[in-house]
């Protein structure tokens, strides 16, 4: 499985080159990748159905529970087949959709990366690895949504999608780390094998909430839903892929994956049921209010994801099975409808449900696919959507506790879905042909292949649901929950209450379709869409955040050197004072040892004092520089005397360099004026306090008995272990070599920074 990920990444790397070689068929060539993965998945179907999950482990960093583990069980395989199967058609579709776009190569790179990341999520066997792929989908979806980067709308939407999902991802990371600390492992097979791991853990609710935030932002659940409708700025193939099997389904996948771990944590269930339920109804309502085809579909996706989250939250056998069945049905019809929308948009230049009609004659194949998908969405017998709707209603009315509310809400959502299905499958294709910006004709072969195959599969999958879908869906729901009943799919279960409800849904749905204009007019009158929501909060918080950043930067980065020094010095001093109040013992301070002062030391110190005084009082900058140099050389001489030749040598060289540098910039500096009295007092305060503190510390250190084993260790092992007699140098290049590496890297970066700053400044003046 690692191989698949690597091949995917390589494909992403060479996609642009393939595009350069074979401009017209690059997407076709790349579609071999998902096709191959799909075949690979089918090849493993039998062993997975026999409950043999495949696990690949490549140990990595044990200390943080990180290993490259990949896992293929029922749930993973279900998603692998979905992602690669739909992905195959998306690549072919994109190839035609971006036919003449010079950036097609770039697009295919992003798309390959996105698909690989999604496959990585579903095949991860370690939560940290999963997180990495999780963030990779956020990143690559940012690139995909913002593909038309010349348009501001695109960039804004892409940024929004990334900020929302990535900030959710950060919560999730916190949850994963906490889970790792509490459970002692992040390996999924171990977590899933011990479902009682977090049973009595006090931190379990916190972990559950943190991980749920990650999943719910990704799956566009209320109140984080707003990024998804905006993401329609992406090209049609991206939308089709993002909504049907990837990205937003990742959140659902994660909830399903971790259900066994959290099923006993009460908050898990209640949050999922509430959020899912609200999102389900809210999304369907919003879908009905809009007329932009892409926006409508986006809200129905939000609603459908709400249904899945709700079902996973209910957590009964039938509800988990219903979640998987509905997920498949939704992936098939939503992928199709987005591609159909793409075709309509591509061929007519518009996508307003109110204005479009009569396209059926001009675009017969698109009509065929759209109609089949809409029938499945509406849940008409014998489509797979019908099978899904039956089991969905079954699960909703079988909910413990609040079955009534959940049932009614699900029914209402079903009605609204049906009404919208009429719009997509019927309204825009039938009747008089409407005026459109472009003269419509059928889309090219690549753009009708995917919709037709997926929509047809929605039909065949419905008729032969028992043979095609049942085994794998059963297996994948058994991974989520220890199911007590084998999944039974079929078209006919007799005249039950559920069947009656299905019929009623169709009837009511048609009714809503007929009166939809009144509903829309009514909602416009109420101006529901102008209500402040989470989206408004997002748009307020981003500039606010920038303002805070600007303010705090202005505050700390005043650009005046003495302010920086004052900050550093005062912080240091207050820290030292705080520490000595807590634990310092200053009774020992004093010149306990009688210090023998040699005559040349006195000479050096007198010279240094003269240098300091001279620096402070002189009116000439050159004198000040030279006086400072005297202080520096004096210090170096003392180092030399006390047995630090390396330090002394460095000090000498640095002093020399400093003077050279000063000479260089001397004629560039402003006039050297005497500071006025107030300013010099302000500077005097931190200087004196700093000097006093450092003197006290030094005296204190000198009066302590130094018993550090480090000194002995270094001097003993320097030659034995590192073959060097100069301990200072051995520490620098060997014992603490990684520090030195960091330092020289920082030096290099600083040099580049200085280069940029000075070059700009000088070229200006």
Partner 1 sequence: MRTVIFETAIKLLLPLFIAFSLFLLFRGHNSPGGGFIGGLLAAIGLFLRAMVFGTKNTIATYKIRPIGIIAIGLSVALVSILIPLFSGLPLMTGLWFDLTLPLIGKLGTPLMFDIGVYIVVIGVVLNITFILSNG
Instruction: Name the segment binding partner 1 (CB under 8 A); options: 244-252, 283-291, 519-527, 654-662.
Output: 654-662
DSSP state of 64: G
CB of 758 to partner 1, least distance (A): 5
Contact status: 759 vs partner 1 (CB under 8 A)? yes
Q: Which residues contact 102 (CB under 8 A, 6 or more apart)?
A: none
Of residues 495, 555, 599, 762, which one binds partner 1 by CB under 8 A?
Answer: 762
CB of 733 to partner 1, least distance (A): 5
Task: Round to whole Å and give the CA distance between 287 and 296.
Answer: 4
DSSP state of 731: I
Nearer to partner 1, 588 or 747 (CB): 747
CB of 626 to partner 1, least distance (A): 18
Half-sphere exposure of residue 290: CA atoms within 13 angstroms, side-chain side = 19
Task: Round to whole Å and give the CA distance between 249 and 460.
Answer: 23
Nearer to partner 1, 185 or 650 (CB): 650
Nearer to partner 1, 59 or 583 (CB): 59
CB of 657 to partner 1, least distance (A): 6
Nearer to partner 1, 433 or 740 (CB): 740
Crossing angle for the helix pair 293-314 and 248-262, nearest 10 degrees?
A: 10
Among the listed residues 82, 116, 95, 117, the one whose alpha carbon sits nearest the alpha carbon of residue 24 = 95
Task: Round to whole Å and give the CA distance between 169 and 429.
Answer: 41
Instruction: Name the segment binding partner 1 (CB under 8 A); options: 358-366, 524-532, 580-588, 717-725.
Output: 717-725
**Residue-by-residue DSSP string for 494-517:** -S-HHHHHHHHHHHHHHHHHHTHH
Question: Bridge partners of 508?
Answer: none
Contact status: 726 vs partner 1 (CB under 8 A)? yes
- Determine if the peptide bond prior to 400 is cis (ω within 30°): no
Nearer to partner 1, 597 or 660 (CB): 660
Among the listed residues 319, 320, 331, 279, the one whose alpha carbon sits nearest the alpha carbon of residue 303 = 279
Contact status: 649 vs partner 1 (CB under 8 A)? yes
Residues that bind partner 1 (rule: CB under 8 A) add up to a total of 41
Nearer to partner 1, 588 or 661 (CB): 661
Instruction: Name the segment binding partner 1 (CB under 8 A); options: 44-52, 202-210, 511-519, 643-651.
Output: 643-651
Half-sphere exposure of residue 511: CA atoms within 13 angstroms, side-chain side = 9
Task: Round to whole Å and give the CA distance between 70 and 154.
Answer: 35
CB of 63 to partner 1, least distance (A): 14
Of residues 435, 581, 738, 764, which one binds partner 1 by CB under 8 A?
Answer: 738
Contact status: 622 vs partner 1 (CB under 8 A)? no
Contact status: 758 vs partner 1 (CB under 8 A)? yes
Give backbone dihedrals phi and psi of 59, rounded to 5 degrees, phi first.
Answer: -60, 145
Cβ pair 378, 426 in contact under 8 A: no
Nearer to partner 1, 646 or 674 (CB): 646
CB of 74 to partner 1, least distance (A): 40
Nearer to partner 1, 25 or 621 (CB): 621
Instruction: Name the segment binding partner 1 (CB under 8 A); options: 144-152, 283-291, 346-354, 757-765.
Output: 757-765
Instruction: Name the segment binding partner 1 (CB under 8 A); options: 90-98, 175-183, 385-393, 734-742.
Output: 734-742
Give the SS3 label for residue 352.
Answer: strand
Among the listed residues 76, 45, 69, 56, the one whose alpha carbon sits nearest the alpha carbon of residue 132 = 69
Nearer to partner 1, 143 or 727 (CB): 727
Instruction: Name the segment binding partner 1 (CB under 8 A); options: 38-46, 478-486, 518-526, 730-738.
Output: 730-738
Nearer to partner 1, 603 or 749 (CB): 749
Nearer to partner 1, 63 or 619 (CB): 63
CB of 715 to partner 1, least distance (A): 14
Of residues 408, 622, 653, 684, which one binds partner 1 by CB under 8 A?
Answer: 653
Contact status: 352 vs partner 1 (CB under 8 A)? no
Provide the sign of the torsion angle of the four alpha carbons 194, 200, 201, 203, taken in this order: positive
Cβ pair 248, 220 in contact under 8 A: yes
Task: Round to whole Å and give the CA distance between 561 and 663.
Answer: 19
CB of 732 to partner 1, least distance (A): 7
CB of 744 to partner 1, least distance (A): 4
Task: Round to whole Å and give the CA distance between 288 and 336.
Answer: 19
**Residue-by-residue DSSP string for 66-133:** EEEEEEE-HHHHHHHHHHHHHHHHHHHHHHHHTTT-TTHHHHHHHHHHHHHHHHHHHHBSBHHHHHHH
Cβ pair 235, 148 in contact under 8 A: yes
Nearer to partner 1, 183 or 730 (CB): 730
Cβ pair 734, 727 in contact under 8 A: no
Among the listed residues 378, 390, 380, 387, the one whose alpha carbon sits nearest the alpha carbon of residue 419 = 378
Of residues 654, 675, 684, 692, which one binds partner 1 by CB under 8 A?
Answer: 654
| Torsion angle in degrees (nearest 10) through CA of 648, 654, 655, 658 | -170
Half-sphere exposure of residue 627: CA atoms within 13 angstroms, side-chain side = 17
Give the SS3 label for residue 533.
Answer: coil
What does the chain come to in residues? 765
* Contact positions with partner 1 (CB under 8 A) in 655-684: 656-657, 660-661, 664-665, 668
Contact status: 724 vs partner 1 (CB under 8 A)? yes
CB of 712 to partner 1, least distance (A): 20
Contact status: 741 vs partner 1 (CB under 8 A)? yes
Nearer to partner 1, 691 or 737 (CB): 737
CB of 126 to partner 1, least distance (A): 23
Contact status: 729 vs partner 1 (CB under 8 A)? yes
Contact status: 734 vs partner 1 (CB under 8 A)? yes
Nearer to partner 1, 595 or 665 (CB): 665
Contact status: 744 vs partner 1 (CB under 8 A)? yes
Q: Which residues contact 280 (CB under 8 A, 6 or more apart)?
A: 303, 304, 306, 307, 310, 409, 410, 413
Binding site residues, partner 1, CB under 8 A? 645-646, 649-650, 653-654, 656-657, 660-661, 664-665, 668, 721-726, 728-730, 732-734, 737-738, 740-741, 744-745, 747-748, 750-752, 754-755, 758-759, 762
């Amino acid at each position: 499985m690692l191989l698949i990920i690597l091949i995917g990444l390589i494909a992403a790397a060479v996609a642009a080159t393939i595009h350069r070689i074979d401009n017209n068929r690059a997407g076709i060539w790349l579609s071999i990748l998902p096709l191959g993965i799909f075949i690979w998945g089918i090849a493993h179907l039998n062993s997975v159905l026999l409950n043999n999950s495949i696990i690949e482990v490549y140990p990595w960093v044990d200390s943080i529970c990180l290993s490259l583990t990949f896992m293929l069980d029922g749930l993973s395989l279900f998603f692998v087949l979905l992602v690669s199967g739909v992905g195959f058609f998306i690549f072919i579709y994109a190839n035609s959709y971006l036919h003449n776009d010079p950036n097609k190569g770039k697009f295919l790179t992003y798309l390959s990366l996105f698909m690989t990341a999604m496959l990585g999520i579903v095949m991860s066997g370690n939560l940290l690895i999963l997180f990495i792929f999780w963030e990779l989908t956020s990143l690559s979806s940012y690139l995909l949504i913002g593909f038309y980067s010349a348009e501001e709308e695109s960039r804004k939407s892409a940024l929004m999608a990334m900020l929302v999902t990535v900030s959710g991802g950060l919560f999730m990371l916190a949850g994963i780390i906490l889970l790792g600390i509490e459970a002692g492992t992040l390996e999924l097979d171990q977590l899933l094998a011990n479902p009682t791991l977090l049973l009595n853990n006090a931190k379990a609710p916190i972990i559950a909430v943190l991980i749920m935030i990650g999943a719910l932002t990704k799956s566009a659940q209320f109140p984080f839903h707003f990024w998804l409708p905006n993401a329609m700025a992406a090209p049609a193939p991206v939308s089709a892929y993002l909504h049907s099997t990837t990205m937003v389904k990742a959140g659902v996948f994660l909830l399903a994956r971790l259900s066994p771990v959290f099923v006993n944590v009460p908050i898990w269930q209640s949050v999922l049921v509430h959020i899912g339920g609200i999102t389900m109804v809210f999304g369907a309502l919003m879908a009905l209010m809009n007329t932009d085809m892409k926006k409508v579909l986006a809200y129905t996706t939000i609603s459908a994801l709400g249904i899945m989250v709700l079902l996973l939250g209910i957590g009964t056998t039938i509800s988990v099975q219903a979640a998987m069945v509905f997920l498949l049905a939704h992936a098939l019809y939503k992928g199709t409808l987005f591609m159909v929308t793409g075709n309509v948009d591509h061929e007519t230049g518009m996508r307003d449900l109110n204005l479009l009609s009569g396209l059926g004659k001009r675009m017969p194949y698109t009509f065929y696919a759209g109609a089949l998908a809409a029938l499945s969405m509406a849940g008409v017998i014998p489509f797979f959507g019908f099978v899904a709707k039956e089991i969905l209603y079954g699960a909703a009315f079988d909910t413990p506790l609040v079955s009534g509310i959940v049932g009614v809400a699900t029914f209402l959502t079903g009605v609204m879905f049906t009404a919208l299905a009429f719009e997509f499958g019927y309204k825009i294709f039938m009747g008089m042909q409407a005026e459109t910006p472009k003269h419509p004709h059928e889309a090219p072969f690549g753009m009708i292949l995917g919709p037709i195959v997926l929509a047809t599969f929605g039909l065949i999958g419905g008729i032969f649901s028992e043979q095609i879908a049942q085994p794998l869906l059963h297996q994948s729901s058994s991974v989520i929950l220890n199911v007590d009943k084998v999944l039974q799919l079929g078209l006919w279960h007799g005249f039950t209450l559920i069947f009656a409800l299905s019929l009623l849904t169709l009837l009511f749905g048609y009714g809503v379709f007929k009166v939809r204009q009144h509903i829309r007019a009514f909602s416009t009158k109420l101006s529901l869409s102008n209500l402040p929501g989470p989206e408004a909060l997002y748009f307020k918080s981003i500039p606010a955040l920038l303002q805070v950043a600007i303010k705090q930067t202005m505050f700390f980065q005043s650009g005046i050197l003495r302010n920086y020094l004052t900050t550093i010095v005062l912080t240091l001093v207050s820290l030292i004072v705080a520490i000595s109040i807590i634990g310092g013992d200053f009774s020992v301070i004093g010149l306990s040892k009688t210090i023998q002062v040699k005559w040349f030391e006195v000479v050096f110190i007198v010279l240094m004092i003269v240098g300091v005084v001279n620096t402070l009082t002189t009116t000439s900058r050159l004198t000040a520089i030279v006086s400072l140099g005297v202080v520096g050389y004096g210090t170096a001489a003392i180092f030399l005397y006390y047995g630090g030749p390396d330090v002394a040598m460095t000090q000498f060289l640095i002093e020399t360099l400093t003077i050279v540098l000063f000479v260089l910039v001397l004629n560039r500096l402003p006039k050297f004026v005497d500071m006025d009295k107030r300013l010099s007092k302000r500077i005097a305060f931190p200087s004196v306090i700093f000097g006093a503190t450092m003197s006290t510390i030094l005296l204190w250190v000198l009066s302590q008995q130094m018993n550090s084993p480090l000194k002995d260790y270094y001097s003993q092992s320097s030659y034995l272990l590192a073959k060097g007699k100069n301990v200072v140098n051995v520490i620098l290049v060997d014992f603490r070599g990684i520090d030195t590496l960091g330092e020289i890297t920082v030096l290099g970066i600083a040099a580049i920074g200085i280069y940029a700053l000075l070059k700009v400044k000088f070229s200006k003046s």
